[in-house]
Amino acid sequence: MNVILYLLPIALGLGLLGLAAFLWSLKKGQYDDLEGAAVRILDDDDLPEERRPGRGSGDNGAKPRDRS
């Protein structure tokens, strides 16, 4: 029974700490743009197909194999 007297305030304190952290993150705008990072990965800055080195002229950079 004495253990409950120690664990109950600790559990309530941790719960309030978690609630405070969640409310802080809401206030700071951490959940404003949930899909931005998922879409941002698609906006890569690759060169167009005809401007890539080794492409466009039919050469893929690999040497042909000898089939003899």
pLDDT in tens, 2-45: 999 999 999 999 999 999 999 999 999 998 888 887 887 787 76
CA distance 34 to 52: 33
* More confident of the two residues 39 and 62: 39
Tokens coding 17: 């700490």
Q: Is the pTM of this model over 0.75?
A: no
Q: Calculate the alpha carbon distances from 47 to 16, 53, 61, 62 in Å.
A: 51, 9, 17, 20
Q: What pLDDT, on the 0 to 100 scale, is given for residue 20? A: 99
Q: What pLDDT, on the 0 to 100 scale, is given for residue 55? A: 53
Instruction: Parse the chain into domains and list their residue ranges.
Output: 1-28
CA distance 53 to 55: 6
Q: What pLDDT, on the 0 to 100 scale, is given for residue 61? A: 59
Q: What pLDDT, on the 0 to 100 scale, is given for residue 66? A: 72
Q: Check: CB of residue 22 under 8 Å from CB of residue 14.
A: no
